[in-house]
Amino acid sequence: MDNRMVYFDQQQRLSLQSGIALPAAQSLLQLAGQQAVASTLIAIPKPASLLAELERAYSQGYEQHASTEFELQGIAVAGSGDPLLHLDLLAEVIPAFKAQRHGVPVTLVTYGLVAPAEAEVLCQQLLALEVEKLEVYLPAANPPAYQQAVQPKQLGFAEVCQFIHTAAEAGLPVSCFAYAPVKQVSELRGLAKELGAREFLLIGS
């Protein structure tokens, strides 16, 4: 497996490098303390190369231990960039992967910093691509704390909250997450639920 394009995240889930475009100061890999992984990833992977690495991982036994469909982790699209800023790559990789591997769930790991005017159309595109799940980074429960934690280049707390709500309303299963340690966990769980997310995950706790 070429770990310059495909790697295992903190949940031991097979993850794809999506590119390097970011809406915030740091990649989620960096925030997770995985700078070493981030530094090895190819900046702009080719769809055909990603598909070849995914097929290699599955042919070598990734997920063979799963006894039921509920144990299947599937793949995540994340990497050193934000997958929502690499829709051209998603549009090539996801349908081709699903044609090869029927029933394998696809998750996008994202900041969710999407302009409200674009959110509904984007969610419909993700539904058309048969994305099974969104994991949206939500490390703070108010605008000042969010600004400090994320340092967004554009948009902010209001927009990520609106995107979570729009995605949930569109029928996309949404989870919110943060990396431990984080303050106000109970407030974050409450906010995530209020916005329509199915759960709030504290990773690394």
Distance (Å, whole) CA 39 – CA 30: 9
Residue 74 predicted with pLDDT over 50: yes
User: Rounded to the nearest 5°, which phi and psi values hold at 24?
Assistant: -140, 175
pLDDT of residue 70: 45
Lowest mean pLDDT segment, chosen from 64-68, 90-94, 194-198? 64-68
Domain boundaries, the chain: 1-110, 136-205
Better-predicted residue by pLDDT, 130 or 10: 130
Average pLDDT, the chain: 91
Q: How far is CA 197 from the centre of its chain?
A: 14
Please give the model's pTM, rounded to 2 decimal places.
0.93
Averaged over 29-47, what is the pLDDT?
92
Averaged over 78-100, what is the pLDDT?
95
Residue 35 predicted with pLDDT over 80: yes
pLDDT of residue 11: 81
Residue 68 predicted with pLDDT over 90: no
Residue 194 predicted with pLDDT over 60: yes
Percent with pLDDT over 70 in the chain: 94
65 band by pLDDT with thresholds 50, 70 and 90: low
User: Measuring CA to CA, which residue among 90, 106, 75, 98 is closest to residue 13?
Assistant: 75
> What is the 3 state secondary structure string of the chain?
CCCCCEEECCCCCEEEECCCCCCECCCHHHHCCCHHHHHHCCCCCCHHHHHHHHHHHHHCCCCCCCCCHHHCCCEEEECCCCHHHCHHHHHHHHHHHHHHCCCCCEEEEECCCCCHHHHHHHHHHHHHCCCCEEEEECCCCCHHHHHHHHCECCCCHHHHHHHHHHHHHHCCCEEEEEECCCCCHHHHHHHHHHHCCCEEEEECC
To the nearest 10 degrees (0 to 180), the angle between helices 157-170 and 143-150 is 100
2 band by pLDDT with thresholds 50, 70 and 90: low
Residue 69 predicted with pLDDT over 50: no
User: Measuring CA to CA, which residue among 89, 64, 74 is closest to residue 5?
Assistant: 89
Lowest mean pLDDT segment, chosen from 68-72, 94-98, 125-129? 68-72
| 122-177 confidence digits (pLDDT tens) | 999 999 999 999 999 999 999 999 999 999 998 999 999 999 999 999 999 999 99
